[in-house]
Amino acid sequence: MLSLFQTCPRSKDSFPGRIVHCHDLRDASHFFRQNVLVIGGGRAAEDVALQLRKFGASSVSISARSRPLGLRWPDAVREVAPVEAVRGSR
C-alpha cells in the first residue's frame, strides 16, 4: 500500500490507496507493515517519516520537489526522486 501525505493533483482521483495530509495524521500505527510515500521536503515530512517508521511502517520513501533533505535516515527510510504522478485505479 502507498499513502500520500500531500496531494499529487494529477493522480489524486485515480490513486487506490489512502491520501492523508500530515496535519490529519493522528496515529502512525495505522500504517503498520505498509510501504508509505511521504511527499514533502520540510520538517513536517521528516517528522511524519520518522513517526511512521517508529510505529511499524515497513518502509518510508520521502519525495520532495526541492533538494533532498540530506539527513542520515534510519533503516527503511529513504529519499527518492520527485514524484510527478501516481498511477492506479479505484
CB 7 within 8 A of CB 19: yes
For residue 2, the model assigns a pLDDT of: 42
pLDDT over 90 percentage in the chain: 34
What is the average pLDDT across 22-40? 90
Q: Judge whether residue 90 has pLDDT over 70.
A: no
Q: What is the pTM of this model?
A: 0.79
What is the average pLDDT across 72-82? 90
Query: What are the phi and psi torsion angles at 54 (to 5°)?
Result: -60, -35
Q: Is 80 helix (H, G, I), strand (E, B) or coil?
A: strand
Cα–Cα distance, 55 to 78 (Å, whole number): 16
